[in-house]
Amino acid sequence: MPKPKVGLYWCASCGGCEEAVVDLAEKILDVVAAVDIVFWPVALDFKKEDVEALSDGEMTAAFINGAVRLSEQEEMVHLLRRKAQYVIAFGSCAHLGGIPGLANLTDRQSIFQYAYRDAPTVVPDDGIVPRQQVTVPQGDLKLPEFWERVRALDQVIDVDYYLPGCPPTPTVIANALTALLEGKLPEKGAVLAGTRALCYECDRAATKPEKGCTLSEIKRPWEIIADPEKCLLAQGILCLGPVTRGGCDAVCVKGNMPCTGCFGPLDRVRDFGAKGLSAIASLLDSNDEAEIERLVNSIPDVAGVLYRYSLPASVLFKSAQTKGDAP
Amino acid sequence: MAENNYEPTIVAFTCTWCTYLAADLAGTSRMSYPANLRIVRAMCSGRIDPQFVLTAFQWGADGVLIGGCHPGDCHYQEGNYKALRRFKLLKKLAAELGIEDERLRLEWISASEADRFRDVVNEMVEDLRRLGPRSGVGEAKPVSASAAEEAIHA
């Protein structure tokens, strides 16, 4: 039997997802032995033409990481969708929009203005801005279009499975690959990680505050030296473990850092940020309006905390991107 | 949409023990208020998940009103305090997402305060008429990079 063909591609992302594949360490040799990698721009010298040369559906799976920001990315994911039987959104950015998705809080013009004019490291009068097309003696040079909005992968193409995480952990990746190779994939649309909240697999769960309010001060991780045994929420550090999908084995919390929600929402949650908001608000230790306001105002950048990985997939932004789906 | 024809839609989530009864009393007392309100009855203001509020906006609401019992009067003892905590945080989030202050409101209205219910609705409808339709949140408009470049040069 011929080996299944697999492709990997990155869109708007930091490169961490590619690194995560390399982090499979010795297991990557098993992967290489089991599959035929036909496209992986970051590591292997295949070109777009090589993918175009494949017949439709010839690739078993395309692992795509990163959000969709540029016209080039949009074109490539459409191409990969055509060539692959399964498209797997790899990592938070492809799954929910990820960190690049926070750019949706502003617009493209402001981004360009800051990046090429106002940022402290930019020499303002050098006149250099990226142009979509430039003519040089050798011919025309073209850059992809920079869309107004960042989108999660499933807002652009049909996605079969999701591998959450920023980046997905080696265990999550290895499990997904095994399921794929053994043909034991779950129902289409599934997120290939845990089905319970992170707290269930956290070693500190026993010290988690269960009843009543507890947060009388909200501290940022650098403000205190956290007790490595005790629930971070009980110590006043905002940890999104109660509302985040498990499956990562609580790696951040083991490193004494709070969960920031990269595995995204649990199955029946419509909006990760709203659910996280509920969880945090329920913990604020006060019934007094002024005191509640003081606590709330001590959280800088609420949208950044609650939608760090999921702004394009949040109900408000998603609705604007897929208008007409609401009843 | 022409500004003078604009009628805002307000979704009101009201607790069954106080604010919903106030709305009921306003009706049986033949009080009148604009027909811009859509009431969703919840057992307690503490049951109103922030997801409900965002979904209302997603489906096109111009404003959301949350109504609960006065502090100390909650049928479930503390539900309205829970609503208050969520509301304060939601308000901050909404501002960061570009939802104006007038569009999201929390009011304590007891079962006997039909006139207060009417006044709050009137006031909110007026505020939203003045504010106009909601816009800007996540509008997807692919514009070419050259247009943005021109904007910078302009």
Q: What is the pLDDT of residue A33?
A: 86
Phi, psi of A21 (to 5 degrees): -65, -45
> What are the 10-residue block averages of pLDDT along chain A, 327 residues in total?
90 93 80 89 92 95 95 96 97 96 89 87 76 91 91 96 95 90 92 94 89 84 93 93 95 96 95 95 92 93 95 82 37
Of A81, A77, A248, A66, nearest to A173 by C-alpha is A248
B93 touches chain A (CB under 8 A): yes
**Residue A248: exposed, middle, or buried by beta-carbon count in 10 A (0-12, 13-18, 19+)?**
buried
Nearest CA in chain B to A143: B145
Instruction: Answer yes or no: are the C-beta atoms of A284 and A217 closer than 8 Å.
Output: no
**Strand, helix or coil for residue A65:** strand
CA distance A171 to A156: 28
Q: What is the pLDDT of residue B104?
A: 97
Q: What is the pLDDT of residue A322?
A: 45
Cβ separation of A289 and B145 shorter than 8 Å? no
Q: How close is the nearest chain B Cα to the Cα of A84, in Å?
A: 27
Cβ separation of B143 and A289 shorter than 8 Å? no
Helices (DSSP H) in B47-78: which residue ranges? 50-58
**Residue A245: exposed, middle, or buried by beta-carbon count in 10 A (0-12, 13-18, 19+)?**
buried
> Helix crossing, B50-58 with B79-96: angle to 10°?
40
| DSSP states of B76-117 | TSSHHHHHHHHHHHHHHHHHHTT--GGGEEEEE--TT-HHHH
CB contact set of A303 (below 8 Å; sequence gap of 6+): A102, A105, A273, A311, B93, B96, B97
B71 touches chain A (CB under 8 A): yes
In this structure, are strands B104-108 and B63-68 parallel, antiparallel, or unpaired?
Answer: parallel
Give the H/E segment covering residue B24: helix B19-28
Q: How close is the nearest chain A Cα to the Cα of B126, in Å?
A: 24
Q: What is the pLDDT of residue B142?
A: 37
Q: What is the pLDDT of residue A58?
A: 95
Which parts of chain B sit beneath pLDDT 50? Answer: 1-2, 138-145, 148, 151-152, 154
Cβ separation of B50 and A105 shorter than 8 Å? no
Of A84, A299, A311, A46, nearest to A180 by C-alpha is A84
Q: What pTM did the predictor assign?
A: 0.88
Q: What is the pLDDT of residue A326?
A: 31
**Strand, helix or coil for residue A86:** strand
Q: What is the pLDDT of residue B4?
A: 62
Q: What is the pLDDT of residue B138?
A: 45
Q: What is the pLDDT of residue B146?
A: 52
Rounded alpha-carbon distances, angstroms, from residue A189 to A87, A159, B61:
10, 7, 29
